[in-house]
Chain A
Amino acid sequence: MDLSAISPTLLVASLMVASTPILLASIGELVVEKSGVLNLGVEGMMIVGAICGFAAAVLTGSPMIGFLCAALGGAAISLIFAVLTQYFLSNQVATGLALTLFGLGLSALLGQSYVGIKPPTTYKLDLPLISDIPILGPILFSHDFTVYAALSLVAGVWWFLKYTRSGLILRAVGESHDAAHALGYKVVRVRVMSIMFGGACAGLGGAALSLVRVPQWTEGMTAGSGWIALAIVVFASWKPERILLGAYLFGGVAVLQLNLQAAGVSIPVEYLSMSPYLITIIVLVAMSANRAKSALNAPAALSRVFHASR
């Protein structure tokens, strides 16, 4: 066992890359939940995005088109959820689960012919001199563009919710859809758009997985990241800045256990692989035990079915 082989700088740098898929999926789901909808289909949307992005990138040779298709794929499949829950008034939990199951099946189907293929490489930032600074260089200036894109997205969402009128309306819809409707705001429209934004983000997260992090396509490759993204939204108390913290925490655990495996630590591989999931449970318990705080931050209208009444 050789723990000295683990370099902290590389650990932090690789943690940022590892966290990007969940970061993207979580920030999208945050917006959805802020508007008052619980979409459990994140896992399904992520993996559909993963295959759409992968296939498009391989077919066109351009990772950018891959990411675009991933976002579109995620948004398209989230539309099914949006239509069912907002227009057909179906139960949000059941519909979210259906989305996940369907997404997993559909992605496996679409990905049949893409197993084992190498995708085109993505653009990595490489500034002369700056990227070579020890410690800060790898951590801040040498990343794949998806890492920077994800960080900008988090900042963008934070600013949108706090300072824009549309952001205020979205928060209001999530607090009380009855009050928002009485004031004349189009609750259903706001929610459908949020859901599709969440789908696009989850799709991007999936593509970040299949095009950057791994990069490869395998059936079921999200391995629960979508579910962890849901946990992160709770952990973050629905605040964008804390999503960053949560995603890095989980990405960190995932990367750390891989490093420990490679360093030959004598804990069996399977138990190390369990760690991200166990940590998620512990975090969830800690958050819910602090009840007073979490109750104040959850959008009040989460999970209730809305129907305009006369």
Chain B
Amino acid sequence: MLRLEKRPSPSRTWAYLAPVLAVIATMIGGGVMFALLGKDPFEAIRIIFYDPLFSEFAWYYRPQLLIKGAPLILIAIGLSMGFRAGIWNIGAEGQYIIGALFGAGFALALYPTESPFIFPSMIVLGALGGFLWAMIPAVLKTKFGTNEILVSLMLVYVAEQLLASMSLGLMKNPEGFGFPGSRNLQQYASAHNAELWVGSGVHMGVVFALMAIIFAYVMLARHQLGFHIRLTGESPKAARFAGVNPNRLIIFCLGCSGALAGLAGMFEIAGPSGQVNIDFNVGYGFTAIIVAFLGRLNPFGIMLAGLLMALTYIGGEIAQSSLGLPSAAIQAFQGMLLFFLLAVDLLTNFKIKWAKAEAIV
């Protein structure tokens, strides 16, 4: 008979071991799923996890890790601060879209003028767009106590409709032969989020992601705001006693995560994606939630988790073309990863013991 016993203090070893264990369990679970789909599980796992890093075409895939990882990391860093404080921003996908629209909209409005000020302005506007979109749930929560989960989520659907409207209307390419979608920003030099070194996969988004990691680390470990965030998540009453202003925290956390998500969207639309179109958003805002938890809400953990998730995206694409594995399989795989992490996380706070038949239910 198994019994759970709370540890006097959370286990450090398990805090690091849990994500690793979760990944291994997911590989096994995923393997089973692939087998059920009629694919060779070992080959599938190899293609997803090993090939992008070490196969003969890895020189092409490795930079992709940074390209796909940067937006995930940027968004996840923002989300993690809110999650630590019990502020659940589920609408990062929407903030991502709006940030992209602000940045791209600005660039398209100025086309074809070339100027060194365009790209920096796009960065500012991208962050602003995401920030403002996140302020809607923030203000509603501070003024009325409305649950931010549902509001930020509803706004994702609204943002998607806005994106569609822009793609078909205001931002549509006049020289696009009637097809939906805007001009391609990759061909507009002042607006293009180009790679800093060709073939490296490092664009401004990657740089900002790195800066975000460092900023988050310093803030959480050494700054009052970080301390307040951690305290609010651990014990809201104690936070109030310590003088934490809950409204200020809500505005900061939602604003910050919104800005970072908006930035990610802007870098993506001006770079790897290139165009304002109906299918621009691919779910990074939601995958980032998994990244945040997988990284244990810790900046460096998020960096590793973001790269791991990017790996599954890239590996998944390869598996799609070489094995015929459907793209939805990767989404299910990623969801499975979060499940396993949540399950294994139990061991960080509890010990499992064998007990003589004594059940306390």
Contact = CB atoms under 8 A, between A and B. Distances in A.
Interface of A: 40, 80, 84, 88-91, 93-95, 97-99, 101-109, 112, 186, 188-189, 219, 223-224, 227, 230-231, 234, 268, 270-271, 273-274, 277-278, 280-281, 284-285, 287-289, 291, 307-308, 310
B331 A108 contact: yes
A207 B78 CA distance: 37
Contact of A281 (B4, B145, B154, B326): B154
B298 interface: no
Given A109-B328, A268-B169, A288 B162 contact: no
Contact of A288 (B147, B338, B346): B147
Among the interface residues A109, A189, A223, which one has the most CB atoms of the partner chain B within 10 A?
A109
Nearest to A187: B361
Contacts of A307: 4, 6
B150 interface: yes
B51 interface: no
A95 B157 contact: no
Contacts of B342: 84, 88, 90-91, 94-95, 98
Contacts of A98: 290, 335, 338-339, 342
A219 to B, nearest CB: 7
A310 B4 CA distance: 11
Given A88-B346, A104-B331, A227-B150, 14 more contacts: A88-B343, A89-B4, A91-B342, A94-B338, A97-B338, A98-B290, A101-B334, A106-B328, A108-B326, A270-B168, A273-B161, A277-B154, A278-B154, A288-B144
B88 A280 contact: no
Contacts of A281: 140, 150-151, 154-155
A303 to B, nearest CB: 10
A288 B147 CA distance: 8
Contacts of A109: 37, 326, 328-329, 332
Nearest to A228: B154
A291 B328 contact: no
Contacts of B162: 270, 274
Given A88-B343, A280-B150, A97 B158 contact: no
Contacts of B145: 288-289, 291
Contact of B158 (A40, A91, A268, A278): A278
* Closest 7 A/B residue pairs (Cβ): A102-B335, A105-B331, A108-B328, A105-B332, A98-B338, A270-B165, A90-B342
A219 B328 contact: yes
A91 B289 CA distance: 13
Contacts of A186: 361
A40 B147 CA distance: 13
Interface string B328-361: 1111111110110011011001100000000011
B144 A285 contact: yes
Nearest to B169: A268
A112 B333 CA distance: 16
A186 B20 CA distance: 34
Contacts of B165: 268, 270-271
Q: Interface of chain B, helix or strand or loop or mixed?
A: helix
Nearest to B36: A109
B40 to A, nearest CB: 17
A224 to B, nearest CB: 5
Contacts of A284: 140, 146-147, 150-151
A108 B336 CA distance: 14
A177 B161 CA distance: 42
A102 B338 contact: yes
Contacts of A97: 90, 289, 338
Contacts of A277: 154-155, 157-158
Contact of A227 (B154, B158, B326): B154
B286 interface: yes
Contact of B161 (A89, A105, A274): A274
A273 B327 CA distance: 27
Contact of B346 (A89, A230, A268, A285): A89
Given A90-B343, A109-B332, A285-B140, A310 B360 contact: yes
B220 interface: no
Nearest to B137: A281
A106 B289 CA distance: 18
A106 B335 contact: yes
B149 interface: yes
B332 to A, nearest CB: 3
6 contacts: A90-B342, A94-B338, A95-B339, A98-B342, A106-B332, A230-B150
B153 interface: yes
Contacts of A88: 342-343, 345-346
